[in-house]
Structure formats: C-alpha cells, structure tokens
Copies of this chain bind each other. A is one copy, B any other.
Amino acid sequence: MTTFLEQLETPVPVVDLDRMALNLDRMAAYATLHGLQLRPHVKTHKSPRIAAEQLRHGAVGLTCATLREAEVMSEVCDDILIAYPPVGAARLERLACLPDDVQVSVAADDANALPALSLAAKLGRREFRVFVEADMGMHRVGVASPEKAVALARAISDSSGLVFGGLLFYPGHIRQDVTQQTAPLAGLTTDLARYLDALRDAGLPAPVVSGGSTPAAWRMHEVPGVTQVRPGTYVYNDRTTAAIGACHWDDCALTVLATVVSVAVKGQAVVDAGTKALGREPIRADGDGFGALLDHPEVIVSRMSEEHGILDLSKSDWKPRLGDLVRIVPNHVCIVVHLFDEIIGVRGHAVETRWPVAARGRGPSTDSIESGPSRPRAV
C-alpha cells in the first residue's frame, strides 16, 4: 500500500528522488566535462546509500569530516579523504583502524601533527596520504604561505608511513553569486599558482590539487591547477545555494515537512519545525529568515523556538489553517540532515523509500548499516 506525503508524521525531512537524481547527474557532468576529479563530501547526506550513488556517477572517492563518517563510508568506498586535521589520540586510533584495504588520506596544516600521525600509521600497519591544507582566504585552517606549505610537504615526505598527497584548500569564501566580482577568483588563481610553483621548485610537485565546495565548485575549472572538487551540498541543495545562484529553486531536493500547529497570533502561523529541526543557520546571501516554503517562497520562517517555527505571512496571500502541511526549504541542508535519524524519499507525493542517516553521531556505529551491495573487499 502506498504511503503519501500527507500521511507522514511531522517534522520530517523529505527528499524528492527525481530532483536528487538530477543534482547527482549535473555535478558529475560538470566534473567530467572539465576533467576534474569529483570527490563528494558526505557531510551533507551522511548516508552510504547516497555515497554509493555518487560513486556510480563517477566519483573517484569520498570526502569525510568525522571518523564516524569515514567508518560508515568504508562499507561502500575504498578511497577516503578525511579533510580534517588528524589531531587527538582517539581520532588517530580510529584512523588507524579503518579497514586495511581503504586508502586513507588526511589534511594537515601543522608539522606538529605528523609524529602522532606517523605512529598511527605504524599502529594500523598502513600508509596515510597527507594533503597540505592551505589557507586561500577563508582564514579557518591551513598554512599561511607557500614557504610553510613546502616545509610541511617536506616534513610529510620525511615521515615514516606518510606520503605527500597534494595541496588541499576549502574555498568557503568564494561563491557562485551571479553578481560576484571576479576578484576573489582572480586572487585564488594567483595565490594557488604561488603555492604550486613553490612546491614544484622544491621538488615536491602536488600530485592532486583539491578544492571546491558546492558554491565554488561550478567555477573551479576557471582556476588553473585545480584537479579535484569536493562539493557536498549539491546532492540536496538548499535555500542558500539557490539564493547565490549555484542552483535553481527547483533543484532543492530536501524539504522539511511540517504541520501548522497554531494560527492564534495575528499575521503569522506556527509550524512544528523549529531550531531542533531546521537549525538556526542564516541565509548566506540576501534574504531573511531560516527557511522558506517550497510552494510559497515569499513565506519565510522568521523566528524560531526549539520546536516552533514562526511563518511570516505579511508578504503572502496564502491563508494557512490549523493542520495544513508545508514543505520548508532550509537555509543550510547539512545541518538539517544532522538533526534527524531518518530521511524519507518521495517520488511526487508517494513515499518510495526511507534511509537512515547512518553516519550521524560521533561514536562507532553500533547498528549494522543498511543492507545493500557492499564494495568488494580485498582479500
């Protein structure tokens, strides 16, 4: 018996499977067209099922942030980059214990991290590929100069169990804004060339140059030297991605289904999706609120409590009634996924499938992950 959207308990994240398929296709086509490696970041979906789809679409491997993500994804992928500093004994031990046949890469910005990483390689009887992470203007992590990049690449090469994997950066400050000045991209091009030249001159050419979040991914072919992109959000997209022009509104595949639970206060309606369902992420573009209705984009979630979302009706002639269902496009979809244990997949209004957010959480996965074809294991 078919279950329909209208029968679901709210709040719940719902993925339009047709839209997701188009999103997967589109990024794969872009990467192939421009000869870029695609190494999607799984932080957005945290699901081995979606990761397997990305690999079928030609991804060369996966990008993870947490060890839980890496452990879960090792069930479907044997080439995993943990784009996160390898610091802390517990993190290193889990890194060492990933399945033997998984090629593990990490990103580092500090030579002081290398001795412990080298010990972890010994503990795991394996080799880690280590990328030098450079700060290209986001000022989050990353070495600050080509000289420091060279010194770190050399220290990696000199460390037992470690192999210099290439240069990695996260261009979180660059966005696909239709009004975007070309300056940031020009700056990135110049800076990157300095890093790549310095590494080459030192006899340590970068085998891989990895950049590109979803907002910047579509422009990475304009930056000479980049060989790989690591977009995450593109699988679902969100209100921010649409607002900056990196996707269309109709490409937003994940919405939070919510119920109107109060219309008592004038000029607004209240739904059962608040901070604990939507997060409290600002839109990173022009616009207010924490989400907008898929079918009434002029209606935004203007305020929230933990379990209440306040819909501002002042710009709309839509008249919600108690019990009405709405679909909210969140500002930042990666946060929404992290707030739920399960995702509902729909085709039109019909529920077709559900899957667990298997890599949510921190510790080792205690549940066996969803069934399905695993990757063949080396023996």
Chain B residues whose C-beta falls within 8 Å of the C-beta of A266 in the assembled complex: 144
Decide yes or no: A263 and B110 within 8 Å by CB, A140-B305, A307-B65, A339-B338 being known contacts: yes
Q: Restricting to A1-23, which residues have a CB under 8 Å from any CB of B?
A: 8-12
Establish whether residues A338 and B276, one from each chain, have CB atoms under 8 Å apart when the complex forms. Answer: yes
Number of copies: 2
Distance of A363 from chain B, by nearest CB (Å):
7
Range for the number of chain A residues in contact with chain B: 35 or more
Q: Which B-chain residue is minimally distant from A338 (CB atoms)?
A: B276
Say yes or no for A335: interface residue by CB 8 A criterion: yes
Say yes or no for A80: interface residue by CB 8 A criterion: no
Q: Of the candidates B90, B140, B279, which one forms a contact with A280 in the assembled complex, judged by CB atoms under 8 Å apart?
A: B279
Instruction: Kindly state the separation between the CA atoms of A323 and B306 in the bound complex, as whole angstroms.
Output: 33
Say yes or no for A135: interface residue by CB 8 A criterion: yes
Establish whether residues B335 and A113, one from each chain, have CB atoms under 8 Å apart when the complex forms. Answer: no
Say yes or no for A261: interface residue by CB 8 A criterion: yes
Distance of A247 from chain B, by nearest CB (Å):
19
Instruction: Kindly state the separation between the CA atoms of A99 and B38 in the bound complex, as whole angstroms.
Output: 52
Q: Restricting to A212-256, which residues have a CB under 8 Å from any CB of B?
A: none
Say yes or no for A97: interface residue by CB 8 A criterion: no
Establish whether residues B279 and A87, one from each chain, have CB atoms under 8 Å apart when the complex forms. Answer: no
Chain A 12-51 per-residue mask, 1 if CB under 8 angstroms from chain B, else 0 = 1000000000000000000000000000000100000000
Establish whether residues A87 and B323, one from each chain, have CB atoms under 8 Å apart when the complex forms. Answer: yes
Establish whether residues B335 and A306, one from each chain, have CB atoms under 8 Å apart when the complex forms. Answer: yes
Interface of A is mostly: loop
Chain B residues whose C-beta falls within 8 Å of the C-beta of A157 in the assembled complex: none
Establish whether residues B259 and A109, one from each chain, have CB atoms under 8 Å apart when the complex forms. Answer: no
Say yes or no for A81: interface residue by CB 8 A criterion: no
Instruction: Kindly state the separation between the CA atoms of A275 and B275 in the bound complex, as whole angstroms.
Output: 12
Decide yes or no: A265 and B342 within 8 Å by CB, A10-B90, A272-B88 being known contacts: no
Distance of A351 from chain B, by nearest CB (Å):
14
Distance of A168 from chain B, by nearest CB (Å):
13
Establish whether residues A270 and B140, one from each chain, have CB atoms under 8 Å apart when the complex forms. Answer: yes
Say yes or no for A74: interface residue by CB 8 A criterion: no
Establish whether residues B142 and A264, one from each chain, have CB atoms under 8 Å apart when the complex forms. Answer: yes
Instruction: Kindly state the separation between the CA atoms of A259 and B113 in the bound complex, as whole angstroms.
Output: 13
Establish whether residues A88 and B261, one from each chain, have CB atoms under 8 Å apart when the complex forms. Answer: yes
The 10 closest A-B pairs by CB, nearest first: A9-B90, A141-B262, A85-B261, A109-B264, A87-B261, A88-B259, A65-B307, A280-B280, A112-B322, A276-B338
Q: Which residues of A contact B (CB under 8 A)?
A: 8-12, 43, 65-66, 84-85, 87-88, 90-91, 109-110, 112-113, 135, 139-144, 148, 172, 259-266, 268, 270, 272, 275-276, 279-282, 303, 305-308, 310, 321-323, 334-335, 338-342, 361-363
Q: Can you list 12 residue pairs at the A/B interface with Cβ under 8 Å?
A: A43-B306, A88-B259, A88-B272, A88-B323, A109-B262, A110-B322, A112-B322, A113-B322, A142-B262, A144-B265, A280-B280, A341-B361
